[in-house]
């Protein structure tokens, strides 16, 4: 037995020694030959160096310089690689630590919100109330906290007992309203507008819910809707557009999943307020082309094209809550008919070009100079329900429909423009024309003046996007065609616009 155990001990020792030698051969074996290899290098050098001439020594030195540079370059690249890798790993660790900290803070904030809601519920219970049975006085102090829409709930509270009815004004016409507004702006606000501009404004409101006021800075673009709000005794809401606006959330706000609140904007509050009021409500998008209108206002442009006004609904949130504002139904708000959107636009290098999609749906007024002061008698504000103003627009449609003669001449002008400029009148423009011209006539203008405005702002604007340098003759022919169809000394706006295009070319 002792011989067996001696054998077993010797065998294990031999195995361990062999394994150690194997590992040593793997890591140290390759280096055993290094001294001999350096000796061989030295022998080669000693053999051939006595026969080196000048060029031999030159290339010998050059070779070692290049070899040293190569080794240094490889070493530097390895250094940069490992340094970047270590820095990246450290950055990722720092990011993870920051994420953990943010998550912890969010959890603590969530706990604080929950604690606040518990305290609020205790206070309400102590008052002997239930959350669904709060009085209007309590709504101002409690619902603002517990509702997803605190600003809109405050509007509910503000208008809960407010009488918003407005009696109609007897024996008033659109022309009289235009004249009174012009005198009011001049006498009380020192803002001076031409009669034509006022007529275009009111006829534009009859034809579209979006009015674009264009022109150079300082010509009174923002002042016009401001003055209109003062005239109708309800101030316009001016919302400044920011260059960073990319989508509808910038305009309406968004629902915060963490706080469980809707981040309401002033635009949304103004739109919701209009659902309670009976008069004209004006919302101004100031400097509207600082951002792309098609991005943040696209939903409104599409919805307001629907023929059924009961479908003019904007979805704010895709869920329902019993404590939502009164006029938010199933998370949606209906765009009220008494709202007119105004957009001011400067035409310079700091702004975006307004696309045809927007122009086709809007009525555009251009301001190219400051108003000329004139004497105006003092004129008071006009308190009138929007329903009466809308009724006057409808009366204009019935009393002053566009004549068949004008439509036939316009059709010929359409054919000429298609033939020479490859531009066509869409059905949308024709529909606006049939509403704008009657309202313009009811405001004291003529059919041809109204048609001149529509043709200039809806069609001639599109020619600017063409290569005008090659269209000089066609533009001159267009001037002659207008005179042939509608007579000389008409279409002053169109002629002025065409002549300006010819000069630009």
The pLDDT of residue 126 is 52
pLDDT digits (tens, 9 = 90+) for 90-124: 666 666 676 667 667 666 666 666 666 666 565 54
Among 209, 476, 186, 423, smallest CA distance to 335 is for 209
Among 407, 401, 406, 405, smallest CA distance to 442 is for 401
The pLDDT of residue 469 is 82
Residues 283, 150, single domain; the answer is yes
The pLDDT of residue 33 is 62
For residue 82, being part of any structural domain is answered with no
Q: Is 262 helix (H, G, I), strand (E, B) or coil?
A: strand
Residues 340, 454, single domain; the answer is no
Asked whether the whole model's pTM tops 0.85, one would answer no
For residue 185, being part of any structural domain is answered with yes
Domain end, chosen from 375, 394, 413, is at 394
How far is the CA of 150 from the CAs of 39, 155, 206, 269, 343, in angstroms? 89, 9, 34, 10, 27
The pLDDT of residue 368 is 77
Question: What CATH number has the domain bearing residue 236?
Answer: 3.40.50.300
Residues 192, 327, single domain; the answer is yes
What is the block-wise mean pLDDT of the chain (505 residues), using blocks of 10 residues? 63 72 69 63 70 73 81 84 70 65 65 64 51 44 64 94 93 96 96 94 97 84 94 95 92 88 94 96 95 93 93 92 91 96 85 88 87 91 96 96 93 90 82 96 96 92 84 92 91 93 84
Domain end, chosen from 336, 362, 394, is at 394
pLDDT digits (tens, 9 = 90+) for 375-434: 999 999 999 999 999 999 999 999 999 999 999 999 999 889 998 888 877 788 889 999
Residues 381, 329, single domain; the answer is yes
With beta carbons less than 8 A apart as the criterion, state whether 463 and 471 touch: yes
The pLDDT of residue 424 is 72
Q: Is 503 helix (H, G, I), strand (E, B) or coil?
A: helix
The pLDDT of residue 34 is 58
For residue 134, being part of any structural domain is answered with no
Please give the residue range of the domain that contains residue 493. 400-505
With beta carbons less than 8 A apart as the criterion, state whether 317 and 248 touch: no
For residue 86, being part of any structural domain is answered with no
Among 194, 182, 214, 245, smallest CA distance to 358 is for 214
- Long-range contact set of residues 108-115: C-beta below 8 Å, sequence gap at least 24: 109/258, 110/258, 113/259
Q: In angstroms, rounded to a whole number, what is the distance separating the alpha carbons of residues 187 and 378?
A: 5
For residue 39, being part of any structural domain is answered with yes
- Report how many domains make up the chain: 3
Residues 384, 426, single domain; the answer is no
Check residue 337 and report its DSSP letter: T
Q: In angstroms, rounded to a whole number, what is the distance separating the alpha carbons of residues 395 and 442?
A: 9
The pLDDT of residue 138 is 44
Q: Is 75 helix (H, G, I), strand (E, B) or coil?
A: helix
Residues 478, 504, single domain; the answer is yes
Residues 280, 316, single domain; the answer is yes
Residues 505, 477, single domain; the answer is yes
Token couple for 190:
């020192």
For residue 357, being part of any structural domain is answered with yes
Kindly compute the dihedral angle of the four CA atoms of residues 317, 318, 320, 325, in this order, to the nearest 10 degrees: 20
Domain end, chosen from 394, 411, 428, is at 394
Q: What are the residues whose beta carbons fall under 8 Å from the beta carbon of 499, sequence distance 6 or more?
A: 479
With beta carbons less than 8 A apart as the criterion, state whether 271 and 158 touch: no
For residue 361, being part of any structural domain is answered with yes
Residues 370, 412, single domain; the answer is no
CA geometry: angle 51, 55, 61, nearest 5 deg: 95
Residues 355, 415, single domain; the answer is no
Residues 347, 428, single domain; the answer is no
With beta carbons less than 8 A apart as the criterion, state whether 271 and 335 touch: yes
Residues 335, 272, single domain; the answer is yes
For residue 59, being part of any structural domain is answered with no
- Transcribe 137-175 into DSSP letters: HHIIIIIHHHSS-HHHHHHHHHHTT-----PPPTT--HH
Q: In angstroms, rounded to a whole number, what is the distance separating the alpha carbons of residues 490 and 221?
A: 27
């Amino acid at each position: 037995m002792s011989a067996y155990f001696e054998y077993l001990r010797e065998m294990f020792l031999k195995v361990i020694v062999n394994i150690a030698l194997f590992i040593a051969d793997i890591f140290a074996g390759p280096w055993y030959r290094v001294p001999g290899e350096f000796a061989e290098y030295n022998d080669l050098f000693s053999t051939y160096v006595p026969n080196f001439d000048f060029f031999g020594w030159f290339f010998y030195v050059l070779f070692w310089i290049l070899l040293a540079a190569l080794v240094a370059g490889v070493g530097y690249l390895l250094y940069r690689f490992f340094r970047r890798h270590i820095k990246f790993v450290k950055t990722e660790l720092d990011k993870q630590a920051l994420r953990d900290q943010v998550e912890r803070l969010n959890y603590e904030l969530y706990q604080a919100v929950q604690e606040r809601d518990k305290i609020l519920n205790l206070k309400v219970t102590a008052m002997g109330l239930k959350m669904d049975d709060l009085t209007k006085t309590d709504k101002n102090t409690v619902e603002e906290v517990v509702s997803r829409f605190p600003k809109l709930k405050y509007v509910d509270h503000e208008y809960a007992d407010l009488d918003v009815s407005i009696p109609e004004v007897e024996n008033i016409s659109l022309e009289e309203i235009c004249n009174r507004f012009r005198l009011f702006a001049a006498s009380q606000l020192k803002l001076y507008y031409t009669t034509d501009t006022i007529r275009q404004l009111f006829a534009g409101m009859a034809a579209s819910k979006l009015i674009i006021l264009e022109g150079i800075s300082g010509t009174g673009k923002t002042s016009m809707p401001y003055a209109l709000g003062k005239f109708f005794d309800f101030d316009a809401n001016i919302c400044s557009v920011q260059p960073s606006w990319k989508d509808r959330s910038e305009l309406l706000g968004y629902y915060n999943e963490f706080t469980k609140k809707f981040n309401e904007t002033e635009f949304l509050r103004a739109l919701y307020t209009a659902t309670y009021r009976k008069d004209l409500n004006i919302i101004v998008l100031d400097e509207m082309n600082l951002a792309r209108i098609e991005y943040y206002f696209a939903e409104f442009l599409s919805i307001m094209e629907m023929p059924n006004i009961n479908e003019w609904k904007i979805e704010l949130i895709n869920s329902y809550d019993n404590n939502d504002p009164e006029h938010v139904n199933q998370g949606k708000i209906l765009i009220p008919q008494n709202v007119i959107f105004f957009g001011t636009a400067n035409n310079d290098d700091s702004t975006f070009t307004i696309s045809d999609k927007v122009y086709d749906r809007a009525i555009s007024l251009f301001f190219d100079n400051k108003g000329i002061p004139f004497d105006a008698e003092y004129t008071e504000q006009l308190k009138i329900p929007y329903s009466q103003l809308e009724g006057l627009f409808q009366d204009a449609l019935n009393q002053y429909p566009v004549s068949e003669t004008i439509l036939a001449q316009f059709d010929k002008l359409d054919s000429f423009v298609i033939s020479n400029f490859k531009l066509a009148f869409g059905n949308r423009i024709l529909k606006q024309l049939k509403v704008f011209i009657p309202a313009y006539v009811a405001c004291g203008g003529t059919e041809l003046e109204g048609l001149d405005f529509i043709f200039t702002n809806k069609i001639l604007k599109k020619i600017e996007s063409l290569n005008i340098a090659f269209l000089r003759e066609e533009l001159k022919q267009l001037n002659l065609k207008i005179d042939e169809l509608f007579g000389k000394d008409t279409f002053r706006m169109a002629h002025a616009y065409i002549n300006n295009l010819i000069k630009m070319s």
